[in-house]
Amino acid sequence: MEDRLHLGAEEAAEIAKRAPFFMALKEFQDSSRSIFHMPGNLGGRTYSEEFARGYASLDTTELRPTGNVLTSEGPVALAEAAYNKLSGAGQTMFITQGSTTGIYAALATACKPGEKLYLPRTVHFSIIRAAALLDLELAFLPLQEADLALPIVDQANSLHLLEKACNPKVLLCSPDYYGRCLDIEKFAEVCHDRSGLLIVDEAHGAHLAAGFDFLPKSSLRQGADIVVSSLHKTLPALTGAAVLQLNERITAEFNEAARQALKLFHSTSPSFPIAASSDWARAYLELGEERLKRLLEAIEYLRENLPDNFSLYEAPLDLDPLHLLICFDSYVRPATVENCLGQKRIYAEMFGLNNFLCLLSVATEPDSLKLLAAELAKIELDNDQELAGLETALKSAYLCEPQIEISVREALLVRAKEARLLPLKELVGRVSMDIVAPYPPGLALLYPGQLIKKEHIQLIEDLLAAGFELSGVLDGKVKALVD
């Protein structure tokens, strides 16, 4: 008898014909395409043939030889210890449902129901939903205008605000979607001086754990207490791979609480292949210093060989080099450049009005950047100056602190049955009952519980007309509180 029985080729082909999602993914996984978006495993190219072909064979459950992903037993404990050694963490916990689950667990560990959470308004919308579930009061940190549509945290005024707080619980995002990094060390010092805790959503910075001196310093090494990283964004891990990490400073006090919180939000059926890919990604990163240096050389090649109307973004803050924001001197609809590159099977993470984001993996092939430079030279862009006004409106919306009429918990949970989908023209003066956000990057223009104003409606209409995808808008309607 054979050790393993596999589906016959004809039967497998017949089943595949009846599985449209499976077939769409299979057909899209063409090795000739250039990948400048998550996940960082580049469609499985970063794995050994055995791993790539044997994915399903790695799927198992909690057994003595395999260990337990959620309780740190057996080989899982060894993998976590290896991650601790690389990153300097006091404790690492694997997550197979994405960093959103880690954010929920981190906030549940650090905050009590009804407690105030300090954060910039430009956080990922998963954090807003976590605040609703955990009954947290949102206190917004000051922002300052930047040279992009997305503002940055006003560090000086935010630190001044926190210096007056007692036992503050603070959540920051660093790097942000554009790769801009905050001075986490200063925030950590203030939080600790005031007996508080600093949580960092480092979803876009898992590669910083290696501590290479040519990369920005990781949040954990700057003193953050709890850090959540999404491994699949820049490391060769499967989608859903993430880690929650505790600083050595608080591990003894919070380790068990964090474990319990993670069990509360995580499925009791964690994916062993995803967890195994996290272990693989850490080992890949450990051995990847020279590989990354070659990639940085390719980035410099790209910078020097971009056409005259394109340039790489230079940030006023420390900038992560794996976030390549390519700017151009014209305003165009996001689909314009996306379609031009898509015809050459080049796919980027996000497209804006006058830029697009290439999110690189530590495994990105340097030659792919040479191809990108060559293809950009063939693109001619017509300037639509009216779209410049849309960028200005977007900046203004993000800089303005939301006028919250009811809490996010009331809007999303307690009074959810009082919400109705209403046409945009009927929304002015009502209270939003959902998150409205361009996606990507998933940063709320309208918060649940926020008063909707005329300028919000105009901005939503203009964004839709320009071709942006807006989460929270369904067939031109948004959920609002109905009296």
217, 205 in Cβ contact below 8 A? Answer: no
Give the strand pairing for 355-359 and 350-351: antiparallel
Pairwise CA distance, residues 44 & 66, whole Å: 23
Q: What is the pLDDT of residues 445-457, one digit of tens each?
A: 999 999 999 999 9
Local structure of 345: helix, strand or coil: coil
What per-residue confidence (pLDDT) applies to 198? Answer: 98
Pairwise CA distance, residues 189 & 449, whole Å: 33
What per-residue confidence (pLDDT) applies to 25? Answer: 62
- Running DSSP on this structure, what letter comes out for residue 62? S
What per-residue confidence (pLDDT) applies to 55? Answer: 74
Query: Averaged over 187-199, what is the pLDDT?
Result: 98
Q: What is the pLDDT of residues 363-413, one digit of tens each?
A: 999 999 999 999 999 999 999 999 999 999 999 999 999 999 999 999 999
User: Confidence class of residue 15 from pLDDT cuts 50, 70 and 90?
Assistant: confident
Give the residues across from 404 on adjacent strands.
Answer: 450
Q: What is the pLDDT of residues 98-119, one digit of tens each?
A: 999 999 999 999 999 999 999 9
Name the H helices within 116-208: 125-134, 155-163, 184-193
> 28-60 burial, b if ≥16 CB within 10 A, otherwise e?
eeeeeebbbbbbbbbebebbeeebeeebeebee
Closest CA to 169 of 144, 190, 151, 186: 190
Query: Averaged over 257-279, what is the pLDDT?
Result: 93
CA Rg, the chain, in Å? 23
Residues whose CB falls within 8 Å of the CB of residue 194, separated by 6 or more in sequence, listed in order: 162, 163, 165, 166, 167, 168
Q: What is the pLDDT of residues 467-479, one digit of tens each?
A: 999 999 999 999 9
Pairwise CA distance, residues 450 & 460, whole Å: 15
What per-residue confidence (pLDDT) applies to 5? Answer: 47
71, 259 in Cβ contact below 8 A? Answer: yes
Q: What is the pLDDT of residues 288-314, one digit of tens each?
A: 999 999 999 999 999 999 999 999 999
Q: What is the pLDDT of residues 239-265, one digit of tens each?
A: 999 999 999 999 999 999 999 999 999
Residues of the chain with pLDDT > 70, as a percent, come to 96
Q: What is the pLDDT of residues 118-139, one digit of tens each?
A: 999 999 999 999 999 999 999 9
Residues whose CB falls within 8 Å of the CB of residue 228, separated by 6 or more in sequence, listed in order: 99, 102, 103, 106, 199, 200, 201, 202, 203, 242, 243, 244, 245
User: Confidence class of residue 43 from pLDDT cuts 50, 70 and 90?
Assistant: confident
Give the residue, 4 or 400, on which the prediction is more confident: 400
User: Confidence class of residue 11 from pLDDT cuts 50, 70 and 90?
Assistant: low
1 pLDDT more than 60:
no
Residue given tokens 């608080």 in the structure block: 250
Residues of the chain with pLDDT > 90, as a percent, come to 79
- Confidence (pTM): 0.93
Compute the mean pLDDT over every residue in the chain, rounded to the nearest whole number: 93
